[in-house]
Amino acid sequence: MIDLKDPEFISDPYPYLAQLRDKEKPIWHEDLGIYLAATHKDASEVLRNKSLGRIYVDRTPESDWKTFNWLHSESILESEPPKHTRIRGLISKAFNRARIESLRPKIEVIVEELLNELIYSSTTFDLISNYAEPLPVRVIAELLGFPRSEEHLLRPWSQAIVKMYEVDPSETAKLEARRAAAEFSQYVHELMVARRANPGSDLISELAQVEEAGERLSAHELIATCVLLLNAGHEASVNGFGNGMVALLNNEKQRELLFSNPDKHGELAIEEFLRFDSPLQLFERTAKEDVEIGGVIIRKGEKIASLLGAANRDGNAFDNPDSMDITRTPNPHISFGGGIHFCIGAPLARLEMSIALPALIKRFPNLQLSNEPKRRDSFTLRGYERVEVSKS
């Protein structure tokens, strides 16, 4: 059985995932204690089947994990109906497509600022830390009304928390996650109190005021929502953009096609970035009752994971699945999940990348990899720590 912590697997999991997919049914992973669904059909069913749920189990001891636990149990990601329905409905009243589209001018300004900064840098720069990473962090900070001077706090908090989604995190990672959860939640709590007293035009102010049928978000639900928006909202953008650009710059034919007309091919290229090397590889759910997935009975209480990256390379759903094709259409990838837990930040991630990608190419039409990219030591959230590129 595959070892999700093996450096060779993390470097390139797709040959191993193909072996799982060849089984044509969910496979029990003894070490993880979970079924793995690797085909597009089964992985999609795991995301959508109402007999499966996101059932958060508190980490123990409670005295150590109290804040971390409620940040998750009170979020839409870890909730099921009717609680999920209520929270998502309230959030959607404030964080909707109209609001996201209204961010376009601000995103364009941030992109321009970042590119201008790169013009005066050396002949090389890090595509992750200098471009892909600061963009979504600044956008989320703008959306939530975080002071610009404190943006630098956000990414470290987020990275510490999301390390807990990996297989068997270290004791150091657990300590850092608990500390980040406490600091981040306290930070948002203070902003929430201030905005309730003096509302502004930011999302925290709106979430604090939003109401439907007499229902409002509790303090914990509001804070958990803000933390989730940062964690999920920028991880997909950073890793999706970085993974896609590395694959593109290693494929001369696809690079030439996109660079020749980024406005024409940009949106389809983004979808292919997300499919070809998925930023989120695993999303687990728990059986609320006995349920059949792909011919296998998942008993009540057992877990099953949708392997998004494996599903996105399934030849039954995609032609030439192991080849990048920036003109691919249709492209039924499941990188943003599906069902009631479809990523609420997907429209924002797509908007950010649709602006950032063509702008980067137009500014630096001779962009190339200058060194071997450094991969993050993680599977669930797949991305790069560093991608050094040259401008000429």
Q: Which residue from 350, 287, 282 is spatially nearest to 100, judged by alpha carbons?
A: 350
Active-site residue, 218 included: no
Helix axes 171-197 and 219-249, enclosed angle (nearest 10): 120
Active-site residue, 284 included: no
Model pLDDT, residue 120 = 80
Model pLDDT, residue 286 = 97
Regions of the chain with pLDDT less than 50: none
Name the active-site residue from 38, 287, 343, 359: 343
Q: What is the pLDDT of residues 14-60, one digit of tens each?
A: 999 999 999 999 999 999 999 999 999 999 999 999 999 998 999 99
Task: Measure the CA dihedral 297/299/300/305, to 10°.
Answer: -70
In terms of phi and psi (left: phi > 0; alpha: psi -120 to 50; beta: otherwise), the region of 274 is: alpha
Active-site residue, 237 included: yes
Model pLDDT, residue 273 = 98
- Output the six-digit token pair for 33: 């204690």
| 0.85 exceeded by pTM | yes
Model pLDDT, residue 311 = 98
Q: What is the pLDDT of residues 147-203, one digit of tens each?
A: 888 888 888 999 899 889 888 889 999 999 999 999 999 999 999 999 999 999 999
Q: Kindly write down the DSSP assignment for every residue of 298-360, as one continuous string.
A: E-TT-EEEEEHHHHTT-TTTSSSTTS--TT--S----TT--GGGS-TTHHHHHHHHHHHHHHH
Q: Which residue from 348, 331, 378 is spatially nearest to 142, judged by alpha carbons?
A: 348
368 close to 159: Cβ distance less than 8 angstroms: no
Model pLDDT, residue 150 = 87
Name the active-site residue from 352, 356, 359, 378: 352
What's the rounded Cα separation, in Å, for the pair 259 and 103? 26
Q: Which residue from 375, 270, 378 is spatially nearest to 333, judged by alpha carbons?
A: 270
Name the active-site residue from 141, 180, 224, 232: 232
Name the active-site residue from 79, 237, 335, 378: 237
The secondary structure element, H or E, covering residue 248 is helix 219-249
Active-site residue, 226 included: no
In order of start, what are the domains of the chain with their CATH numbers?
57-290+341-364+371-390 (1.10.630.10)
Name the active-site residue from 235, 271, 272, 284: 235
Q: What are the strands, taking DSSP E only, across 122-196? A: 124-126
Model pLDDT, residue 357 = 98
What's the rounded Cα separation, in Å, for the pair 8 and 91? 40
Peptide bond into 61 cis (omega under 30): yes
What's the rounded Cα separation, in Å, for the pair 138 and 135? 5
